[in-house]
Structure 1
Amino acid sequence: MTPAGPTTRAAATATTAPATVDAGAARAAETAPAPPAALRDATWDDARAAAHLLGERMRRRLPVAADPVALDAAEGRILAADLRARVDLPGTAVSAMDGWAVGSTGHGPWRVGAPVLAGHAPTGIALGPGEARPIATGAPVPPSTAGVLRSEHGDVTDGVLRVNALAPTGGARAGAEIRPAGEEAGRGDVLLRSGTRLTAVRLGLAAAAGHDLLPVRAPAATDVIHLGDEVVAHGVPAPGRVRDAVGPALPGLLGACGLAVGSSTRVPDDARATRDAIGRATAPLVLTTGGSSRGPADHVRAALDGLGARLLVDAVRMRPGHPVMLAELPDGRAVLCLPGNPLAAVACLLSFAPPLVDGLAGRAVPALAGWTAGADLPGGGSRTRLVACAFDADGRLVPVAAQGPGMLRGLAAA
């Protein structure tokens, strides 16, 4: 979804055991950042900043589980500790090109000996002046190698190597085409910091550095509480009822944000039932859908007050999704209260869950990418307007149809 306010920007769109608070976590609270000031009718950017700060506080106050995971299962996970090289990269001086390892610089000639192949341990036999050995890319260079002459820069006749017309002036140069041991990284060097999201290339780096298992953070569990007498979970709804369109989407949406569903509960529009459901939740993040506005059947605000929660964000100047709330429970856990309308709920989840997870991981919120609009986007006035868009044939963003707060058809086409 694209936020369109005074400027148009493109927003990036991305069962575990319950967490418990222990004495160590309580001591860590002393070093946690101060809670953000309560924001009423906050700007979209300020609300995202508050979510990030709450995530940082949670990281310092709540225990974080870490699991060792094999490389082939670690993509997309978050490192729980710094990743250090277990070996020098490369482990020994190697040839950067196919060619000849030569024992002296210049134009030669060099008497050619046995080849040196990648994957074979160095023989320890040194090259003397006037000697050369064919060498493969990545193969360890023999002791006393002056440099490597590229294969296209030399010719061999009757077992004797000479430079040809393609060779650089001066012929074979000292240290040419040799990767020294530790050129990329030395043993013990930090390659990736804790909190880094693991991509395919980063997993390749971990493998090159000698790792088979990586310590990753378990996705933060999220207890989901669905509110509303009118919402049904199965079948065709009767008149006056609506089918739950948010619940089936939440596992995938939460997973894209780096979270996981811990439990899922349905609660009627009742003040005590709402408070009890939030009070029974044990996950680091509690997510409510519906009941966040100020109507006669909306009880989330009173439930949070009854539980002693600190309300950090009370409504955001955004469309859709204005009645979203963010709160901190007395034990340091977070409550994100989404509106009941499907598009508004998704817009709020994708706006505020990612920065909260960034704070949990100890990393900054990444800058939003900018895109070129291929059509006029509806403005939001003083509010940030979130617009579901698709790319046109020229790679520009254009708004899709059916974008009412209770609709998902447009977002499904985005």
Structure 2
Amino acid sequence: MATGALTLALATTSSVMGNTDGNETSVRSTRSVESPAAAASRHWVNTWTAMPQLTEPSNMPPPPFTGDGAVLVDTTLRQTVRVSTGGERMRLRFSNAFGDTALPLTAVSVALPLDGRAGVSAIEPGTPQRVTFGGRETATVPAGAQVVSDPLEFDLHPGSNLTVTTYLAEGQPSLALTSHPGSRTTSYLQNADHTQDHDLPQAIPVNHWYLLSDVEVLSGRSTAAVAVLGDSLTDGRGSTTNGNNRWPDQFLDRLRGRPATDEVAVLNQAAGGNRVLNDGLGPNVLARLDRDVLARSGVSWLVVFEGVNDIGTAEATEAAQRGVTAELIAAYEQVVVRAHAQDIRVYGATLTPFGGNTMYDDPDGHREVSRQAVNSWIRTSGRFDAVIDFDRAVRDPADPGRLDPTLHDGDWLHLNPDGYRALADAVPLRLFRALLPAAE
């Protein structure tokens, strides 16, 4: 089982009581050395993640939060994320993967969102806690790097929403901002430090995540994660904003409904427009595999559901499509080899139809021939440890080159929440039991 680095919790014990607008907050981090037996029985597991990307101009924070050569100056950023597994000790990771300057974090807090909801600016009174980094409340993330917070005692329930509020006094002195634009979740921006405020009624809402890349929980040895490599079909285009009804979310709901799989975390490492072979919106799969899967904590399984954008953006000729088919198959084999080297099982998901889509469907059907050839290889090659047949789950039985008309969002490529439920229901839960120690 690939669990990332086993981590001994080493954090200075500190207690800081502050008062901002009458709101009390406590800081608790632990720098006590655990016994070897206690450390061996637990490990860090990613419970939420978002694929870091370079923010495009259209997805930058709106004025006044983006200025001349700098971004998020004197800005509070409040975001909510839905975790998969829970725990009593957690930590955060912030990414400056695409920054070309250092990123100074002035203050960070975590809390429970009001009524447990996603995408709200209010938090539950009494729940905010300050986050520290090496015992300090500030941290600087070097260009291209990430920073991991100190472990924080915080009761995080499985499948719940978490609010993370970050204040940047200096902002990032560059427009090279790391984010995940396809959050399908509302975040909030407001000038000045409001990390401890119970609500941000004057904040400007944006449907993007910025800077935050991971939440990890200290877990028992039976807890493990499945990472999903994908594009907009996994990132959730067509799903409901603040609804958490992408297919990985609905798959998590299924996992949590059964004792044998309720300790499986789901990590959505997808981005709209992403491709396997070439950079698009974010680095290509072969370039980001180490960062987004192999370096994530506690990953035991990988689902590969990507390739439609490679086929759809390649020239619609027989020769070009024959080439992209061969290159995709070679890339999938590379992913399997590299993941197996880390003891990660790899499951291949068949590519879903795009017939009728104005961008990808071509009159001569060359791209559909490629899709069928790729799917045939996924199903029959034996290279994957198992196959998840998403194509069969959502195609129109009367016209298999097209999606079921009731399951797409209107463009014959992306799915609606019902379509994403069909994908989630198509994943065999038995695939995520065999490696758990509790099931041995």
TM-score bracket for the superposition, by shorter chain length: under 0.3
Provide TM-score, normalisation by structure 1.
0.26
Over alpha carbons, which structure has the higher Rg? 1
Provide TM-score, normalisation by structure 2.
0.24
